[in-house]
């Protein structure tokens, strides 16, 4: 049964092509918002906490600080409203899921940047 589901996902779900990114990277996600009959593009810039799942059901979580409040957002990789993803900084972290980042503030909340 699971192979049938995988086959249908591979055949009929369109995959978006985005640059490679992972936990610790700072990215900007541009996505489309529909308000009534109008559409507009909004962006969300933050640090990737995790990538979860595989294939068409893959998601990623981004965290940003809005003033003193942390805001997290989960995006599916194949969301049709996603227009583009820009990788602003490549971060150097030792884990695939950096949940500990939620509890850090100030200078401790910095992530070292990987130079190319």
For the segment 18-77, what is each residue's pLDDT rounded down to a tens digit?
889 999 999 999 999 999 999 999 999 999 999 999 877 899 999 999 988 999 999 999
What distance in Å separates the CA atoms of residue 68 and residue 63, rounded to the nearest whole number? 13
Number of H helices, E strands in the chain: 1, 5
What distance in Å separates the CA atoms of residue 71 and residue 95, rounded to the nearest whole number? 21
What's this model's pTM, rounded to 2 decimal places? 0.84
For the segment 4-13, what is each residue's pLDDT rounded down to a tens digit?
877 777 777 6
């Amino acid at each position: 049964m699971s192979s049938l589901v995988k086959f249908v996902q591979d055949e009929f779900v369109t995959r978006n092509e985005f640059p490679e990114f992972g936990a610790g990277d700072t990215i900007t996600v541009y996505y489309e918002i529909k308000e009534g009959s109008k559409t507009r593009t909004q962006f969300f810039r933050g640090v990737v906490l995790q990538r979860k799942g595989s294939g068409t059901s893959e998601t990623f979580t981004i965290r940003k600080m809005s003033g003193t409040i942390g805001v997290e957002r989960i995006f599916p990789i194949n969301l049709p409203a996603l227009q583009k993803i820009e990788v602003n900084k490549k971060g150097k972290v030792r884990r695939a899921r950096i949940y500990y980042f939620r509890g850090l503030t100030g200078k401790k909340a910095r992530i070292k940047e990987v130079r190319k």
